[in-house]
Chains A and B, each alone.
Chain A
Amino acid sequence: MDEMMAVIRKSFTGGLSTDEEILLEKWLGSDEDNGREYSFLKSLHVWKNPPFAPDEVGDGRMPWRIRRLLLKSSIETNIFVRVYRIAACLLLIPLAGMLVWALTARPSNQDIVAMQEVRAPFGICSAVTLPDGSEVVLNAGSSLTFPAVFDGTSRAVELSGEAYFEVESCPDRPFIVRTGELDIVATGTSFNVEAYSGEDRIAVTMVEGKVGLYASDDRLIRTMVAEDRLVYFRNTGTVDETAGYSYRYISWKDGVLAFRNDPLDSILARLGRLYNVEFILLDENLAHKQFYATFNNESLESILKLLSMSDNVQFEQVSGTGSDQGIRKIYVMNKERH
């Protein structure tokens, strides 16, 4: 046995003599099980004497050449999926209508401008058509306040949260999105504004056209054109323009959640608003873990499943939460905890 083991061991590292080769072949041929034992010994050998450090091997993140391949095919195959998605979004419009708090506008009294507020509750995004025909998609947990009738000189709306705007062109009546610290002034254009109260940043992503950003003292901060993206920090009043445009910032309006190496804490914040759940991070090291993923109209369960499949993170619902016991809470922790 020792002799055979020595030959087997030698075969893993190379340099078998012809005699030894014959010996090995005989042994393998003498019993069907010997082949399996041989490969088992080989795996033990690789485990104990790896040919190169296992940690040096890439972490399983796909290289660009493979990701590009996947991307290409998803564009080809997903056209029909997209059509369904848009249809699903349209179905939400009547729902949004039900949520409108319309204070009955009486045109007889021109001095009182009736305001209405549309709220997209947590878990639902809503589509709104404004009095001038502009289209707005409100992300979950956001609200938009606007007059029942726009006056002659401007069209001002107030946003808390995130919304995607497609503004009807009308150069002499600028369209203004007020977010408290920042006013976005547009004529005809498509853009996304993210201004959640309780978050320091206000992010504006341009798709088409041109907008001006004004501080609360009416000072012009920047003008932005198509494909620009800018983040404004409320506390410091500073601006970060390094973030480039990407579909991922507006994909939510099509029901697509796109994460591009985003840290887990920001992913959880978005998922929490979208699905109306509260995440409780038990292991701080997870907050900065990055994920690369795209989800099309998927249930929270399947999103969490896939996130946990791709990394060392697991989710567990806090017992006694959800349905009639108030907001659902979910623990987020390292897999080793179990």
Chain B
Amino acid sequence: MDIVPEYDDMVLWRAVEQSDHRAFSALYRRYYRDMVLFCGSYICDRQVCEDIVQNIFIRLWSGRGALAVRNFRMFLMKSARNACLNEMKRGGVAGNYADYVSRGGSMYADIEGYILYSDLESNMMEVLSSISPQYREVFVENRFKGRTCKEIAESLGLSYRTVEERLRKALKIIRSRLKEYDDRTKR
């Protein structure tokens, strides 16, 4: 008998809205590290990122009755992203990607397909093992070993277009498989 199913995000959030702090700490534990690392994609300072995430959680608690949260993780990521962009504007942290975003880059293009660190950590190997070796090979060479399509095409004796096509498909499949894992475990 397994007596410990994970509550999903929204169940916990509804409890937080009723001022349940155990639910709040559960959400905190679930997302803290992933959110800090997500912030790290904007700001390379760990301490700054940790502060940003802690402040978001403080605001979540203080506003628990008043916030319209439909998808907890999305809400968290949007808050984190906005906080990072603000922090960069305010503190003049050496901007990279943020310059582009703040100048009007597609709204949330940087969030929707983002897979959290711990989800990649726990599911990537399983997803990779579930796709066809042809796609896997191209993906691993390109993403993990940093080789270009051209180099891969040469070493595998394939045409550039074939490699390109496989990589495109591989990315798509892997992304959607990882998303499935996400949706199954957390919402």
Interface residues in chain A, defined as those with a beta carbon under 8 Å from any beta carbon in chain B: 1-2, 5-6, 11-16, 21, 24-25, 28-29, 33-48, 50-52, 54, 56-63, 65-66, 69-70, 73-74, 77, 293-295, 301, 304-306, 308-310, 314-317, 319
Residues of A within 8 A of B96 (CB): 11-16
Residues of A within 8 A of B124 (CB): 47
Kindly count the residue-residue contacts between A and B in the assembled complex, taking CB atoms under 8 Å apart: 184
Q: Is B171 an interface residue (CB 8 A)?
A: yes
- Closest-CB distance, A139 to chain B (whole angstroms): 23
Q: Once bound together, how far apart are the Cα atoms of A37 and B7, in whole Å?
A: 29
CB–CB B41/A45 < 8 A: yes
- Closest-CB distance, A142 to chain B (whole angstroms): 27
Residues of A within 8 A of B117 (CB): 43, 46-47, 50, 54
CB–CB B175/A36 < 8 A: yes
CB–CB A77/B1 < 8 A: no
CB–CB B100/A62 < 8 A: no
Nearest-CB residue, chain A, relative to B121: A47
Residues of B within 8 A of A41 (CB): 171
Q: Once bound together, how far apart are the Cα atoms of A60 and B37, in whole Å?
A: 13
Known: A60-B32, A74-B19, A310-B25. A14 touches B41 (CB 8 A): no
Known: A16-B100, A40-B114, A57-B33. A2 touches B150 (CB 8 A): yes
CB–CB B112/A57 < 8 A: no
Q: Is B187 an interface residue (CB 8 A)?
A: no
Q: Is B131 an interface residue (CB 8 A)?
A: no
Nearest-CB residue, chain B, relative to A317: B1
Residues of A within 8 A of B62 (CB): 69
B82-109 interface bits toward A, Cβ cutoff 8 Å, 1 = contact, 0 = none = 0000000000001111011001011011
